[in-house]
Amino acid sequence: MSSTAPNLDDEIENLQARVSTLKKQLRIQTSTLIASPSTRQLFAAPPTTTAQSTIPSDANPVRQKLLTHAASQQAHNQQCLYRTCAALTTFRVQDPDPNAVDGGAVLGLRIEVFSRTKFLRPYYVLLNRPYGPASRRHLRLHRHTVPPCIPLAGLAARHLPPPARGDGAVHGRMQDLPRFARALRREIVRYHHRLGVVADLRKAAGLGGAEKSDDGDGAGEKLPGQTLVDITPADAEARQLSIEWADGRTGRLVMGDDGEILKLVALGDEGRDHEAARELLGGALRVDDVVRSLLAAA
């Protein structure tokens, strides 16, 4: 009985996860069907022919509920389209501090990021103008919600340099706010893509803690004959991955900005293990290729 109970609990948990996934897929398909142009056209006017007699009338609460759901889905689609096309937006903020510089006027940058089939919480960067009337067009970082691993200070020093001082100690350069915003968003997107690649690699290797797939097909379970026991980011920027094998070997994989493999070193009891590195890479040039090879091996 003791050996059967855990298996039964696992089956119940897998069944509940499968039911939850099916309900999610049903909601998505229902919203897509109701919000489609052809369906909205059918509900736009009251039925006039026999073929349309099955459509609820205007006074029918079912019709009103469907129209409300279709309008809500259309608004959601419009919002997603806006967030996709307008990934960088600006807005004005009034600093409530009575002693704030420039009368409390603040310029805000909103940065949208889409990763792993969903929109993340937007990142915000606030800029002010503390240099006085002589340098009204020069901005400076005020507040931000950017992750610490993003080189925000370096990007600001490169694209938003301070104005020149009267004594000539600082040579002023022109600021380029659009280039700063694009470079910052590029760094944030690359960071989240690297995190996504690490999650996909863990899932493909069958390691615990990886996110389950949306289709509930059991991806993320331990693969037969799997020798990898851990793959985790070794730095805050997720550029280096720490790899551990079941036999005690360890490795370090260095990943580029866009997921390319820069270097992989595997260490065993006798030093560097080139065979383990070649077995894991298999001639791959990107981490995505390693993910596909692990999935193919399954």
Residue-wise pLDDT for 160-215, tens only, equals 998 876 544 445 678 999 999 999 999 999 999 999 888 888 888 877 544 443 44
The predicted model scores a pTM of: 0.70
Residue-wise pLDDT for 231-263, tens only, equals 889 999 989 999 888 888 888 999 988 888 998
Whether the Cβ atoms of residue 262 and residue 255 lie closer than 8 Å to each other: yes
- Residues in Cβ contact with 198 at an 8 Å cutoff, skipping those fewer than 6 apart: 231, 232, 233, 238, 241
Supply the mean pLDDT for the chain.
80
Percent of the chain with pLDDT over 90: 25
**Can you tell me the distance from the alpha carbon of 44 to that of 66, in angstroms, rounded to the nearest whole number?**
11
Query: One-letter amino acid identity for 169?
Result: A
36 pLDDT more than 70: yes
Cα dist. 156→57, 143, 146, 147 in Å?
Answer: 60, 12, 13, 15
55 pLDDT more than 70: no
Cα dist. 295→88, 252, 262 in Å?
Answer: 36, 21, 22
Return the SS3 of 25. helix
Tell me what pLDDT residue 58 has: 55
Cα dist. 241→192, 193, 199, 256 in Å?
Answer: 15, 14, 11, 11
The mean pLDDT of 140-159, rounded to a whole number, is 94
Return the SS3 of 234. coil
The mean pLDDT of 149-162, rounded to a whole number, is 93
Kindly report which listed range (1-5, 75-79, 166-170, 233-237) carries the lowest average pLDDT score.
Answer: 166-170
Band the pLDDT of 271: cuts 50, 70, 90. Answer: confident
